[in-house]
Structure 1
Amino acid sequence: MRRFFPAIGAFLLLTGLLTAAPREADAQDARAFVANLGNQAIQVLGPSVSPAQRVARFRQLFQNDFDVPGIGQFVLGRYWRTASPQEQQEFLRLFQEYIVQAYASRLGEYGGEPFRVLGSRPAGDETVVTSQIDRPNGGRVMVDWYLTNRGGGLKITDVYVGGVSMKVTQRDEFASVIQRNGGRVDALLAQLRQRLAAAR
């Protein structure tokens, strides 16, 4: 019996080491993914780029690197289940373009401040990568990127800026619009169309 416990301990240690290695590899991949995304954004989205180019380039980054269907479904919340398939598809299309237009214009204000990846940590089946942007006035902005593996590749599922979740903020905003209009998803779709038309 005494020899049994060391054997179990060795087994647990071995399995712990075997599972830790893939997790660390996943964390390294996630950190490299965010660092590469940050560098791409700095290069293609700076103030020297025209607004039209900035929108086109950010659209490509958003489509390639973010889990747009998953984020969109989360943002629509419980109303996703009550929306028709046509409304779901139109929402995803409008939501993607709304985010692209809104954030591309904000990125035009970015002045090339240093972007640094600080580390990562596991969060359930996701990996959180923490980064920092140093501001010219000496301040700093902390950004947490939530990533998961979707279909063999990493995708961003949420971004926290200063502790505030991008997708939770959008969900609250959109839910407010739907609730003010009797739970009708088509009211949100109409408002998104209006906002996009005004931005053009």
Structure 2
Amino acid sequence: MTRRGALALTGGALFALAPLSALALTEARARALVQSLVDEINAVIASGKSEAAMYRDFERIFNRYADVPTVALYTLGVDGRSATAAQKRAYIDAFRGYIARKYGSRFREFIGGRLEVQGVTQIKNYYQVRTTAYLRGEDPFFVDFHVSDRSGEDRFFNMFIEGVNLLLSEREEIGAMLDRRGRNLDRLIADLRTMG
């Protein structure tokens, strides 16, 4: 599996714990979130389940740990500003399913690998949690999760694989999809419901 493939897989695992407490996000909470995420990913990888079952597990993991609305709306770029509230809700829902199908299908390539949490660094008002990915036949490499509580819960909202930014990559891809559909958001929403 290539690092690009790992980005696709982990990114999807790319995009909740208890509700936000009175205290702001801490280093310990950011680490705990990513450790729980990594533990669940590793358990699915080692489970020996069918690809369809792994996909369902992946969708559950993505919905639990990623700040899906933030990721989805960011990928729309300027088109999100002119979208109606109903279009935004429909897009978030379609994007959630699209990402889960797109990246969940890559789980088989990750079998035999694992992620390990290494450390946490505060960056402005969020934390970067560094993990190391170990894949068969590949040198280990870093996967950095960006964690925030701005949504009201501790969630990851972005990740980097050796400098490759998941949010920017998805934004470029969604932008290209919109271009092919004449910037028609409703068409994109309809198509995302079956893509992945």
Alignment of 1:156-195 (within 5 A): 156-195=156-195
Q: Name 1:35's counterpart in structure 2.
A: 35
TM-score (ref. length: structure 1): 0.78
Residues 138 and 68 from structure 1, CA distance in 2 versus in 1: closer, same or farther, beyond 3 angstroms? closer
Q: Name 1:73's counterpart in structure 2.
A: 73
CA RMSD after TM alignment: 2.2
Aligned partners of 1:47 and 1:109 also within 8 Å = no
Larger gyration radius, structure 1 or structure 2: 1
Residues 85 and 27 from structure 1, CA distance in 2 versus in 1: closer, same or farther, beyond 3 angstroms? same
Task: Please state how far the C-alpha of 1:99 moved relative to its aligned partner.
Answer: 0.7
* Identical columns (%): 25
Q: Partners of 2:98 and 2:66 in 1: how far apart?
A: 14
Aligned partners of 1:46 and 1:110 also within 8 Å = no
Q: Partners of 2:45 and 2:115 in 1: how far apart?
A: 14
Q: Name 1:18's counterpart in structure 2.
A: none
Task: Please state how far the C-alpha of 1:111 moved relative to its aligned partner.
Answer: 2.3
| Alignment pair present for 1:54 and 2:54 | yes
Higher relative contact order (Cα pairs below 8 Å, separated by 6+ residues): 2
Aligned partners of 1:146 and 1:159 also within 8 Å = yes
Q: Partners of 2:133 and 2:186 in 1: how far apart?
A: 38
Q: Partners of 1:170 and 1:79 in 2: how far apart?
A: 14
Q: Deviations over 1:148-189 (max 9, x none)?
A: 014653101012122111121111111122234332212322
Task: Please state how far the C-alpha of 1:137 moved relative to its aligned partner.
Answer: 2.8
Q: Partners of 1:143 and 1:131 in 2: how far apart?
A: 5
Q: Partners of 1:179 and 1:26 in 2: how far apart?
A: 40
Q: Name 1:154's counterpart in structure 2.
A: 154
Q: Name 1:104's counterpart in structure 2.
A: 104
Q: Partners of 1:125 and 1:148 in 2: how far apart?
A: 7
Matched positions, count: 174
Q: Which amino acid aligns with 1:177?
A: M
Larger fraction in helix: 1
Q: Partners of 2:88 and 2:151 in 1: how far apart?
A: 21
Three-state SS of the structure 2 residue aligned to 1:112 is coil
Q: Partners of 1:138 and 1:176 in 2: how far apart?
A: 31
Instruction: Give ranges in structure 2 of 5+ residues lacking alignment.
Output: 1-22
